[in-house]
Amino acid sequence: MEWQELKGTKILDAQDPDRAGAAVREAAAILREGGLVAFPTETVYGLGAAAGNSAAVHKIFAAKQRPPDNPLIVHLTSMEQVRELTLALPPAAYLLAERFWPGPLTLVLPKNATLPAVTTAGLPSVAVRIPAHPLALALLKEAALPVAAPSANLSGSPSPTTAAHVLADLAGRIDAVLDGGSCPVGVESTVVSLLGPKPAILRPGGVTLEMLRGVLGEELVDLTADRGDFTGTPPAPGMKYRHYAPRAPLYLVEAGRKQGKRLEALLQDLLARGKRPGLLLTRETLQARPGLKAFPLEILASRRDPAAAARELYGALRRLDDSPVDVIVAEGFKERQIGRALMNRLRKAADLIFAENGRD
């Protein structure tokens, strides 16, 4: 079958049901030959390579310009495959797998010697996930391999939630992208470590703290309340890097009683200094302050719908970056349910944070 290409990267259109089967087969063949294929998952697009092929995995780090000490998540289709890559599993692994797989949950488990060191950045553990997106599952089954896949963006830039985002960062650097439209969750998977005496959240995501507590109770430890400024060794190597960030500096105005006033004061200050701000706001803030429509603007759903805001976040950051702004001012959300993941990403992307008791 003929496929469109951009700078040598094949665009395998799986949105057209007549071509989806052929697109998945072509993508699987590339993975089996040691190539790189970006594919949709329910969280964001992943950049896949055969996890057991160290040359292929090295190509992921090169294409993304990812620091070599940041390990990859290995995508699988069954518990049997999980057992093939790991040492004895703790009971919590079975409980969580039963409840949340396939889905946006990654488990960090003790690894055996099956996978090459490059895939796990030399760690004695491996991060694994069974994704729920039908195209991701179809691709993994067709390839019949464990597939290492970090987000399919250049390291540090916002994660891709469409094939166009993938191509904007990686056209010419990867073999193909499997185009399955936009990703329904929009932020990366929740990462839970089962290495210590208690299960610990290393990264908030689509499976929320509240959902995990429903299975694990108060045993669960949340290690994500940080602001990302680790000095020693962080529990997940990825925690120490600035992430998800647009090119323009991002100023985050956190939720709180005086959020609107803090936002206006910040905008006035920026305008007085000759800056051109672009805004990332909720529908409610825009309704209360219609004057803000004069700025380049992305509406991030309703304050009451953090799931929709999560879905739209990365696309909105990329669009603002493509418009003539020199600073992005974003409104913060309340930290509950997926709002925790949203705020974690916004804080990691932010250059300055304006909190309730901070600079107002």
Q: Which spans of this chain sit near ligand AMP (rule: CB under 6 A)?
A: 70-73, 108, 120, 123, 125-127, 150-151, 188, 191, 202-203, 236-238
Show the site string, 137-166: x = touches Mg ion by CB under 5 A, - = not.
Answer: -------------xx---------------
> Which option in ligand AMP, Mg ion, none does residue 311 bind, with CB closer than 5 to 8 A by kind?
none
Cβ closest to ligand AMP, residue 108 vs residue 346? 108
> Which option in Mg ion, ligand AMP, none does residue 86 bind, with CB closer than 5 to 8 A by kind?
none
Cβ closest to ligand AMP, residue 329 vs residue 342? 342
CA torsion 344-346-350-355 (nearest 10°) is -80
From CA 126, how far away is CA 144, in angstroms rounded? Answer: 19
> Which option in Mg ion, ligand AMP, none does residue 236 bind, with CB closer than 5 to 8 A by kind?
ligand AMP
Cβ closest to ligand AMP, residue 61 vs residue 354? 61
From CA 197, how far away is CA 217, in angstroms rounded? Answer: 14
Cβ closest to ligand AMP, residue 166 vs residue 281? 166
Closest of 277, 244, 63, 46 to residue 158, by C-alpha: 244
> Which option in ligand AMP, Mg ion, none does residue 313 bind, with CB closer than 5 to 8 A by kind?
none
> Nearest distance from residue 160's CB to ligand AMP, in Å?
11
- 3-class DSSP state of 302: coil
- Type of residue found at 325: V
Cβ closest to Mg ion, residue 104 vs residue 150? 150
The one-character DSSP state at 192 is E
Helix or strand run (H / E) with residue 170: helix 163-170
From CA 122, how far away is CA 134, in angstroms rounded? Answer: 31
Cβ closest to Mg ion, residue 151 vs residue 285? 151
> Nearest distance from residue 244's CB to ligand AMP, in Å?
10
> Nearest distance from residue 159's CB to Mg ion, in Å?
6
Cβ closest to Mg ion, residue 34 vs residue 67? 67
> Nearest distance from residue 88's CB to Mg ion, in Å?
29
- 100 and 94 Cβ atoms separated by less than 8 Å: no
> Nearest distance from residue 186's CB to ligand AMP, in Å?
13
Residue with tokens 């991030």: 300
Q: Angle 91-100/209-216 helices, nearest 10 degrees?
A: 130
Give yes or no for residue 43 binding Mg ion (CB under 5 A). no
Structure tokens at 202: 């290393």
From CA 319, how far away is CA 323, in angstroms rounded? Answer: 7
Closest of 165, 159, 156, 93 to residue 130, by C-alpha: 93
From CA 31, how far away is CA 143, in angstroms rounded? Answer: 7
> Nearest distance from residue 277's CB to ligand AMP, in Å?
29
> Which option in Mg ion, ligand AMP, none does residue 123 bind, with CB closer than 5 to 8 A by kind?
ligand AMP
> Which option in ligand AMP, Mg ion, none does residue 182 bind, with CB closer than 5 to 8 A by kind?
none
- 166 and 179 Cβ atoms separated by less than 8 Å: no
Binding region for Mg ion (CB under 5 A): 150-151
